[in-house]
Copies of this chain bind each other. A is one copy, B any other.
Amino acid sequence: MSLVIRPAEPGDGAAIHAMVEALAKSHGEQEHFTAVAADYETALFAPGTMIGAFIAVYGGVPAGCAIWHRSFSTFRGKETLYLEDLSVLPAFRRRGIARALLGAMAGLALSRGVPAISWLMMPWNDAARKLYIEAGAEIEEGVCLCRLHGPALERLAT
């Protein structure tokens, strides 16, 4: 079967929505998944957007995606890339699609003169861990992800 990795285009919002939903399900995070397809269309193609996505098309069908945003390393003093989601639909896993999406991300970093890509991984995700180690990624364990939102955010605001 053919595999093509291409940048997201207007109209891809529904496919991206299905892929992020699959990711939310496999992480047991459905209750935090509130996006609708139009959110991705809006965010990806807004003037001055700082996000982008690649779509993996396998045998003519959207099968996976990588959604990234611009980031910045204060230690390097340089812009970097952050990989927010790497998702392959369950029916298309174990075909090298995630690896190909990572390759496209690496190519994007080089083309932008960006020295690094970073992302988060859940510690229980053995399939992801295997892929990332094979790709040559460094993995720092045991980091804490902090979030401030809702009433706590409003209380704190000055």
A residues apposed to B, CB below 8 Å: 5, 20, 23-24, 29, 32-36, 39-40, 43, 48, 50-51, 67, 69-79, 82, 84-85, 100, 102-104, 106-107, 109-110, 115-123, 129, 132, 135-158
Contacts and interface: CB of A to CB of B under 8 A. Distances in A.
Given A74-B67, A115-B149, A143 B157 contact: no
A121 B148 contact: no
Given A103-B157, A107-B158, A143-B144, 20 more contacts: A32-B75, A34-B77, A35-B75, A39-B78, A43-B79, A67-B72, A67-B74, A71-B82, A106-B154, A106-B157, A107-B157, A117-B153, A121-B143, A121-B145, A121-B146, A122-B143, A137-B152, A138-B147, A141-B144, A143-B143
